[in-house]
Structure 1
């Protein structure tokens, strides 16, 4: 039996989870074998979601990647209960000494002081405003947000400062915050992207086990758009040989729901995500596993992933060009090929805080 086989988790223990295994991260030298060698039947409990509270020392994270349209972001949570098997944020859990596998979707970290820290950073004299991205790593509207309300608190701060923000989510909890988002939209301060990978309910449940159904996410687009909140439909990720045939229909339905722009990203398999995704393919769609990975390697120079800027988002080669052409045509046909209006940064202002001296003028 291989090391990978020994680390696979019984289906009964990983019900409604994405990863098949819980291998240690790349920084851990020791590999833990879950078998004690006794071959005695043992009842093992399912993996439950555990939320750890951790005060943040800083919230705004900077990046200089030339193929990313923002230079700063925040993450109210680390790890994501949605459990999307393809999530390119999974490798970040290795920095915590946790597995990018099941730990990523069961061992979550929330930052209860996120809004307070964010406010202090925005008040720094050296701060210069530009759109802030949320949801580019882990989803701010994953299920634990319902009780924690950390994302809502952050939005309240951003609204008070008239600070522009972009949000990416698969979660329906964003509808709860439509009051704040609607207010920000009137001032040209917000844009939301709703991600849809497949319209196949059964496939979505296997690939994104705790994400609201595709139909429900289309309803989110309709709800936000009806309240004047600029909303983008995101075909993300496009899984070659598995979901790519649905791309045009997703864009069509997104436009019908009220989306005014669109974007797409090809499947990305950095670091541990590659093995995790391939395990998932074998377990759920074994008849298509070879074809999917064949396309992936064709688009990344024979490797599961090419992290080079300019190529990692859409891939290269004939297959990638075909997908790109199809997306461009479908976006144009559905009126989604327009860039959203640039968010305003000129309204940014520090709101008064307790103890401030009132102006005499």
Structure 2
């Protein structure tokens, strides 16, 4: 293991561009267990991120313990955020991971403020909280504890099988606050999965995690997205995916077509040119110029293909963009400040008004 210490508040001329004056930078770390990946450990000043009012996201608060992600999904919409650090949205996003080592302590202080209204908090909206780095840094147990102790409901969206480590803690937290879990599985073909998202666990391993979470008492949502045109949108591929999702015990599915936002678009297209050059012209037609979204015609065609398969497998399903008001409250989570009670263990918690209602992310 090799450590490169850096003093707080002192510019390091040898640091990566954009990190010379990164507030709270403690040290940058490389280790043989994570070949090719550098972790930049920082002391965060804040943990809760408020989602701008104009955003289409159906939640108001997020927590992101990491920036960058070793899952290395070529289509990841968050790639562009790495450019704020003067790092690139391609290889740097996969290999230069910022770790907020004190995020749990900062979050606990923020949740204790008198003006915190116990609004639902979402984890996994930017980069995955259960990416491989979590095995090293173990930030999520502290985050889960802080949220549960404060009476704040929360949701987790992940591709990481490390979620299984925290299932006992999450089950305990769910007795105090509403906790919803979702697993993202876009690609069920092992060869394609290793090519397009090489740092992720296999679909089989993620489905095993869905089963484990279901057995722990959670109604798990599977995000079957992004669906990749001409690669994962055939009837055979969708039918196989939904069959396996059902067998894993998932309660519902959210599906949607590929988005190619700035930062992700160039990186994904470079992958497509290498691995599937025969599809480049088709993708340029679907996502012309700066367009980030598949055309409405394709999305409608996809919905007509998926919906009968959902019914055939007895799954509840929602297309990602079928809600007329993208800022509507997240179903299954409190839309307004919940009543506060003291639990049997003396902790403040938000009482669930409909304890048996299914908890959904979208």
TM-score by length of 1: 0.76
Partner of 1:252: 243
Name whichever structure is richer in strand by fraction: 2
Partner of 1:342: 332
Residue of 279, 282, 287 corresponding to 2:278:
287
- Equivalent position SS for 2:87: coil
Aligned residues of 1:162 and 1:184 also touching (Cα < 8 A):
no
Number of aligned positions between the proteins: 296
CA gap 1:230/1:96 in 2 versus in 1, 3 angstroms? same
**2:85 counterpart of 1:96:** yes
Partner of 1:36: none
Residue of 174, 190, 198 corresponding to 1:209:
198
* Cα deviation, residue 66, structure 1: 5.5
Partners in 2 of 1:212 and 1:327 — Cα distance? Answer: 25
Partner of 2:120: 131
Partner of 2:154: 165
Partner of 1:329: 308
Partners in 2 of 1:350 and 1:139 — Cα distance? Answer: 32
CA gap 1:207/1:338 in 2 versus in 1, 3 angstroms? closer
What does the per-residue CA deviation read over 1:285-319, in whole Å, with 9 as the maximum and x for residues that have no partner?
2222323333x32xxxx44524xxxxx5xx43322
Partner of 2:225: 236
* Cα deviation, residue 267, structure 1: 1.1
* Cα deviation, residue 349, structure 1: 6.1
Partners in 2 of 1:147 and 1:94 — Cα distance? Answer: 25
Partners in 1 of 2:298 and 2:317 — Cα distance? Answer: 25
CA gap 1:65/1:180 in 2 versus in 1, 3 angstroms? farther
Instruction: Give 5+ residue unaligned stretches, structure 2.
Output: 1-15, 18-33, 319-329, 344-362
Aligned residues of 1:190 and 1:230 also touching (Cα < 8 A):
no
Partner of 1:59: 47
Q: Show the 5 A alignment for 1:111-130.
A: 111-130=100-119
What does the per-residue CA deviation read over 1:98-135, in whole Å, with 9 as the maximum and x for residues that have no partner?
11111111111000110111111111111112211000
Partners in 1 of 2:58 and 2:240 — Cα distance? Answer: 26
- Equivalent position SS for 1:116: helix
Partners in 1 of 2:54 and 2:255 — Cα distance? Answer: 18
- Equivalent position SS for 1:89: helix
Partners in 2 of 1:67 and 1:343 — Cα distance? Answer: 17
Residue of 276, 280, 296 corresponding to 2:267:
276
* Cα deviation, residue 71, structure 1: 1.2
Partner of 1:305: 291
Aligned residues of 1:193 and 1:231 also touching (Cα < 8 A):
yes
